[in-house]
Amino acid sequence: MRLIFLGAPGAGKGTQAQKLCEKKEIPHISTGDILREAVANKTQVGLAAKSYMDQGKLVPDEVVVNIVSERLQKPDCKKGFLLDGFPRSLKQAEELDNKLDELGLNIDKVIYFSVDEDEVVRRITGRRICSKCGENYHIESLKPKKDGICDKCSSELYQRNDDTAETVKKRLDVFKKESMPLVNYYKNKSLLTEIVANKSIDEIFNEVIEVFL
Ligand code: AP5
């Protein structure tokens, strides 16, 4: 099972990817998570990526393509993988195709989560993340039992640097310009399924599961 999750920031890709990867026991490869870890560890990649991420811009293709190429060659990807947030431009999609050809692999399905802009802004500005275990919350729709504290490990929750209303607007502009063309790219390859994601997390997950029936 080799999958791609496409969608605007806040469409719910990460939330659904985590659930599906747990169920199917495949690695969840989120370029956003990998880059944030690199930033936190102040690696060379992290130092190069930080200012792009803080401004809501795409990190240069060659940086991200290298990260994914290396990751796909790890042994756990032999049983399949889910790419979340990659590819994000036509150039990245073409580079991914080249890499998969080289490895003798192909993508089985691409799910595009469509959601309206107001909902994106609501979801992103309300998102909170556990500083220790990375668990995801929302101040209205996925509240922790105790305000600001993770249910799972009792650590503090924080807001991502790029989750401000201003940066969300920029990220949405970038999505429309750079990533929307991927919808047609994968439609033309007969790989795309669209899921309207203005629903509850469980309702969307049921539709995700149906894609594989
Ligand atoms: P990345 O981390 O990939 O961010 P993103 O694509 O903007 O996506 P998000 O994580 O914001 O949203 P999501 O769709 O995963 O939603 P989530 O499930 O978390 O990228 C960050 C940055 O890294 C980029 O801006 C760029 O700079 C760089 N980058 C990453 N990949 C790159 C690439 N390939 N090339 C170049 N640069 C790259 O949900 C959001 C919130 O909503 C949560 O609080 C959640 O609880 C809540 N929620 C989810 N679903 C629902 C629902 N159905 N109903 C109500 N609330 C919901």
Block residue for tokens 């809501």: 56
Q: Which residue out of 50, 88, 123, 128 is catalytically annotated?
A: 88
What integer pLDDT is reported at residue 141 of this predicted model?
84
Residues contacting ligand 1 via CB (< 6 Å): 7, 9-15, 31-32, 35, 52-53, 56-59, 64, 85-86, 88, 92, 123-124, 127, 136, 138, 141-142, 162, 171, 199-201, 204
Flag whether pLDDT at 168 surpasses 90: yes
What is the band of 129 on the pLDDT scale with cuts at 50, 70, 90?
very high
Is the CA virtual torsion 159, 160, 166, 168 positive or negative? negative
pLDDT greater than 90 at residue 101: yes
Contact in structure between 67 and 92 (CB atoms under 8 Å): no
CA separation for the pair 113, 121 (Å, rounded): 15
Question: Alpha-carbon distance 154 to 82, whole Å?
Answer: 29
Distance 46 CA to ligand 1 centre (A): 18
Q: How far apart are CA 91 and CA 108, in angstroms?
A: 20
Per residue in 16-72, pLDDT tens? 999 999 999 999 999 999 999 999 999 999 999 999 999 999 999 999 999 999 999
DSSP-derived 3-state class of residue 63 = helix
Instruction: Please state, for a pLDDT cut of 90, what percent of the chain lies above it.
Output: 96
**C-alpha 13 – ligand 1 centre gap (Å):** 6
Question: Where residue 213 falls among pLDDT bands split at 50, 70, 90?
Answer: confident
Q: What is the pLDDT of residue 137?
A: 92
Q: pLDDT confidence of 112, banded at 50, 70, 90?
A: very high
Number of other residues whose CB lies within 10 A of the CB of residue 144: 18
The first and second tokens of residue 45, run together, are 């990649």
pTM of the shown model: 0.95
Please provide the distance, in angstroms rounded to a whole number, between the alpha carbons at the two ends of the chain: 13
**Dist CA 103 CA 191 (whole Å):** 19
Other C-beta atoms closer than 10 Å to the C-beta of 136 total: 13
187-202, pLDDT tens digit by residue? 999 999 999 999 999 9
Query: Which pLDDT value is given to residue 212?
Result: 85
